[in-house]
């Protein structure tokens, strides 16, 4: 019925992987239970305080007797504490406490540090009378002292270093009921720590790191294992040992071999390959890598990541990809401080640990998709990583010592530079990787994607044949993208379907099957006459020799991939006035965009739909104003024949696709053309697309992304593209065959745009009419 009142000071622990808590309490006093008031959910009782009362100490015993007992106790206590290592701060503090605390508090305190069974400790707590307490504690002290003496005797021959470890944790060994398992565990653990120390000393870490590690291991040795910090410190030291401080691979640098390797791995992308080779050549001549950090910018699936991988292969370096998309915490880059529970190093240091060398190629994927949050700006943390002047002393918060990143080759990729913070952009050299033309895609498919897919599906070229016309069909009717990822997926789908056929074919004798595709005479029309293998629709034919390749023709394609997803809808969409085709640039490449306008009775309001940004809305207002001010010149009227176009008329402009946010000034010319068509009632040519910013006075200003836009127009099968005259220089970047297929109209003012957009031009009313008065 005796208990101890205490104050909970700290609760440490977690529920994972299993519940494990450590409770730190400060004892206040003993009490006696007078009456239990309630048991659930926790016991509540009426209690009476038993000790720490003035009269309590004086009451029972005469001063002298207690004085003698306490003197004796004090002597033993001092003897015990002095046997411990005084250089440990906790021991020194204890020594001071012995002198400063009132004697009657000492039995409780010393019992708490003596390693005895819980039962014995409870007995001391139960002992209410001070005299009893002293009497019970003294034998414990004596036992502990004897045990220590014995231990020191046996450990004498050992090194000084070890003594300290033993001294601070001597209790287990002298426990009167020693637990063997516990002892072994401790021994093992001790060995581990010694091993760790040895590893630290032999590792090639920097001087600064070594100093920190040795300090930490010293602390570790003195730490009880149950402390949460023990595991933390140990993990830290293990990471420090594992890091490749001085381990690197030797660069294989031969520019000719690099060129061949890059050409073998990637078709087209000449500009990118040229720049990469320049970069490698400089490295070959000058061994010091303080070059720029390359950043490949382009739509998805154009091979940015895979070029990065090729560079690592050419150099004979390890490759590691760090996906930065959605990272919004700077500790992701730079690690957490070690004070947090569950803290870990950032991705850079983790990556180095994974690759195990200090000169890998790090691909920072999707730098444009870094987020920002309350936890700080990861882009700012990247600044230090990417700056060749600073990154030799990169300090991860977790490591807390500098790690030299100057040997790491960083390559970044992004879809757009618009969302990369300017400071980060400044550290990198941007290399644009535009989308591919249809011809390039066909080549890439046949040289790289199809062989790769065949291999992945366990097929051989003897089992499947995909002619170029089919690839073109897939490109134009089943995909609409700047890169080749979707094309790759479609080819994968075809290979899967063929794999089923081939696998079924192997059991043909036992179970003939019928293909679902009907006969189709025209299915063979694409196939060259000389080598005409059977189409997939005929694979069920038992007469066929089994090694005949399965030919993927249009019918097979429809069967496997379903009906075409994209039809050339251009001419249908342009069958009424008030529609024009604009060219838009998106991070996914160029795209064509139908701008639609309609008018209705109203009060002269302009409605814009399609999730437009402010700049685009302003373009629409500019276009209307320009048309209104030029209505007479072009003979444009509203429904009631008035030259004031908005008189009793509302205009609605829509930009599909409605779910995608759009912004930018480049739709200006398209809006003007679309509205001119609406008010004049004439159709815009169905094969012309346009882009360009407009001014209030009718000038056409240059815009960006011309190459991607032109490729999009080409993909969509358009024939004519109207671009601002000042963008003429951008056409040089476009492949010759694309340029040959298209006619380019260079426009410097809106008159030229309208003239080119309408069949037979867009007549301006002759100015001569104004002079019809005669004197």
* Span near ligand ADP by CB under 6 A; candidates 228-236, 296-304, 317-325, 597-605: 296-304
Distance CA 358, CA 102 (A): 59
Neighbours of 407 (CB within 10 A): 16
298 is in an annotated binding site: yes
Compute the least distance from the CB of residue 398 to ligand ADP, in Å: 29
641 is in an annotated binding site: no
433 is in an annotated binding site: no
CA atoms within 13 A on the CB side of 301: 19
Distance CA 507, CA 534 (A): 19
311 versus 570: smaller Cβ distance to ligand ADP = 311
What residues have CB less than 8 Å from 770, skipping those under 6 apart? Answer: none
Q: Is 294 in the site for ligand ADP (CB under 6 A)?
A: no
269 versus 551: smaller Cβ distance to ligand ADP = 269
Distance CA 104, CA 130 (A): 7
* Span near ligand ADP by CB under 6 A; candidates 229-237, 265-273, 389-397, 473-481: 265-273
Q: Is 394 in the site for ligand ADP (CB under 6 A)?
A: no
Distance CA 589, CA 209 (A): 47
DSSP readout, 127-186? --SHHHHHHHHHHHHHHHHHHHHHHHHHHTTS-HHHHHHHHHS-HHHH-SS--HHHHHHH
Q: Is 438 in the site for ligand ADP (CB under 6 A)?
A: no
Q: Is 302 in the site for ligand ADP (CB under 6 A)?
A: yes
- Of the candidates 310, 331, 535, 666, the residue annotated as catalytic is 666
What residues have CB less than 8 Å from 404, skipping those under 6 apart? Answer: 206, 358, 391, 392, 393, 394
Interface mask toward ligand ADP for 127-166; x: CB under 6 A: ----------------------------------------
The question of whether 215 is a catalytic residue gets the answer no
Say if CB 328 and CB 377 are below 8 A apart.
Answer: no
476 DSSP 8-state letter:
I
Q: Is 268 in the site for ligand ADP (CB under 6 A)?
A: yes
Q: Which of 317, 448, 477, 715 binds ligand ADP (CB under 6 A)?
A: 448
* Span near ligand ADP by CB under 6 A; candidates 20-28, 299-307, 340-348, 570-578: 299-307
301 is in an annotated binding site: yes
What residues have CB less than 8 Å from 372, skipping those under 6 apart? Answer: 328, 378, 379
Distance CA 428, CA 471 (A): 37
Distance CA 193, CA 199 (A): 10
342 is in an annotated binding site: no
Q: Is 668 in the site for ligand ADP (CB under 6 A)?
A: no
Assigned token pair, 597: 């306008």
Q: Is 300 in the site for ligand ADP (CB under 6 A)?
A: yes
* Span near ligand ADP by CB under 6 A; candidates 92-100, 118-126, 294-302, 506-514: 294-302
Q: Which of 70, 144, 314, 413 binds ligand ADP (CB under 6 A)?
A: 413
106 versus 295: smaller Cβ distance to ligand ADP = 295
51 versus 365: smaller Cβ distance to ligand ADP = 365
Q: Which of 133, 234, 283, 304 binds ligand ADP (CB under 6 A)?
A: 304
The question of whether 310 is a catalytic residue gets the answer no
- Region 456-485 residues binding ligand ADP, contact defined as CB under 6 A: 483-485
Count of residues touching ligand ADP (by CB under 6 A): 18
E-assigned strands of 623-719? 649-654, 688-690, 693-694, 700-701
CA atoms within 13 A on the CB side of 684: 37
Question: Distance of CA 494 to CAs 451, 453, 464, 484, Å?
Answer: 13, 9, 10, 15
Catalogue the active-site residues: 666, 709
Cite the annotated binding site by residue number: 298-305
Residues that bind ligand ADP (CB under 6 A): 266-269, 300-306, 413, 444, 448, 483-485, 488
Annotated binding site for ATP: 298-305
């Amino acid at each position: 019925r005796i208990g101890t009142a205490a104050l909970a000071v700290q609760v440490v622990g977690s529920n994972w992987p299993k519940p494990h808590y450590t409770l730190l309490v400060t004892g206040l006093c003993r009490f006696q239970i007078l009456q239990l008031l309630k048991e659930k959910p926790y016991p509540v009782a009426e209690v009476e305080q038993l000790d720490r009362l003035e009269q309590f100490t004086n009451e029972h015993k005469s001063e002298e007797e207690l004085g003698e007992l306490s003197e004796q106790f004090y002597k033993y206590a001092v003897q015990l504490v002095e046997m411990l290592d005084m250089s440990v701060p906790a021991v020194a503090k204890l020594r001071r406490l012995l002198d400063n605390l009132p004697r009657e508090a000492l039995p409780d305190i010393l019992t708490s540090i003596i390693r005895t069974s819980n039962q014995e400790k409870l007995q001391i707590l139960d002992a209410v009378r001070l005299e009893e307490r002293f009497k019970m504690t003294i034998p414990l002290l004596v036992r502990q002292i004897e045990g220590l003496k014995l231990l020191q005797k046996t450990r004498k021959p050992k090194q000084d270093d070890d003594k300290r470890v033993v001294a601070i944790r001597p209790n287990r060994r002298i426990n009167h009921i020693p637990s063997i398992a516990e002892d072994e565990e401790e021994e093992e653990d001790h060995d581990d720590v010694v091993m760790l120390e040895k590893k630290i000393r032999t590792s090639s870490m920097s001087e600064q790191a070594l100093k920190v590690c040795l300090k930490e291991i010293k602390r570790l040795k003195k730490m009880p294992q149950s402390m949460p910090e023990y595991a933390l410190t140990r993990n830290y030291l293990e990471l420090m040992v594992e890091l490749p401080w001085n381990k690197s691979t030797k660069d294989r640098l031969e520019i000719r071999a690099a060129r061949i390797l890059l050409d073998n791995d990637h078709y087209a992308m000449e500009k990118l390959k040229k720049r990469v080779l320049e970069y490698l050549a400089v490295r070959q001549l000058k061994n010091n890598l303080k070059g720029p950090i390359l950043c490949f910018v382009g739509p998805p699936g154009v091979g940015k990541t895979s070029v990065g991988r090729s560079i690592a292969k050419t150099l004979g370096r390890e490759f590691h990809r760090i996906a930065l998309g959605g990272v919004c915490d700077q500790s992701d880059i730079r690690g957490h401080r070690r004070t947090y529970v569950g803290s870990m190093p950032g991705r850079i240091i983790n990556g180095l640990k994974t690759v195990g060398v200090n000169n890998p190629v790090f691909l920072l994927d999707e730098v444009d998709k870094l987020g920002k949050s309350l936890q700080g700006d990861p882009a700012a943390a990247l600044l230090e990583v990417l700056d060749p002047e600073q990154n030799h002393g990169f300090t991860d918060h977790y490591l807390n010592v500098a790690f030299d990143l100057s040997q790491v080759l960083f390559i970044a990729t992004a879809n757009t530079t618009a969302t990369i913070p300017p400071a980060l952009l400044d550290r990198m050299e941007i290399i644009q990787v535009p989308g591919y033309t249809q011809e390039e895609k066909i080549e890439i498919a046949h040289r790289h994607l199809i062989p790769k897919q065949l291999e992945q599906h366990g097929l051989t070229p003897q089992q499947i044949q995909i002619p170029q016309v089919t690839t073109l069909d897939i490109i134009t009717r089943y995909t609409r993208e700047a890169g080749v990822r979707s094309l790759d997926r479609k080819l994968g789908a075809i290979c899967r379907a063929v794999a089923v056929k081939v696998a079924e074919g192997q059991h043909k004798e036992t179970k003939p099957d019928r293909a679902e595709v009907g006969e189709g005479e025209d299915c063979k029309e694409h196939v060259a006459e000389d080598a005409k293998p059977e189409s997939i629709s005929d694979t069920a034919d038992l007469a066929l020799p089994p090694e005949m390749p399965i030919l993927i023709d249009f019918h097979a394609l429809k069967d496997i991939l379903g009906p075409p997803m994209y039809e050339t809808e251009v001419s249908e969409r342009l069958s009424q006035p008030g529609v024009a085709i604009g060219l838009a640039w998106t991070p996914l490449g160029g795209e064509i965009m139908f701008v639609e306008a309609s008018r209705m009775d109203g009060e002269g309001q302009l409605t814009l739909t399609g999730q437009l940004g402010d700049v685009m809305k302003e373009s629409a207002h500019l276009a209307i104003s320009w048309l209104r001010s030029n209505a007479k010149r072009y003979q444009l009227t509203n429904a009631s024949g008035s030259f004031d176009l908005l008189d009793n008329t509302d205009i609605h402009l829509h930009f599909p696709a409605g779910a995608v946010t759009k912004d930018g000034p480049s739709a200006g010319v398209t809006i003007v053309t679309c509205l001119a068509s609406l008010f004049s009632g004439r159709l815009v040519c169905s094969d012309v697309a346009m882009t360009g910013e407009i001014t209030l006075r009718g000038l056409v200003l240059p815009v960006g992304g011309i190459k991607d836009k032109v490729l999009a127009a080409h993909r969509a099968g358009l024939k004519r593209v109207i671009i601002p005259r000042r963008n003429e220089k951008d056409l040089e970047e476009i492949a010759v065959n694309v340029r040959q297929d298209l006619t380019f109209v260079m426009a410097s003012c809106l008159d030229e745009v309208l003239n080119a957009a309408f069949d037979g031009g867009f007549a301006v009313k002759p100015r001569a009419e104004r002079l019809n008065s005669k004197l």
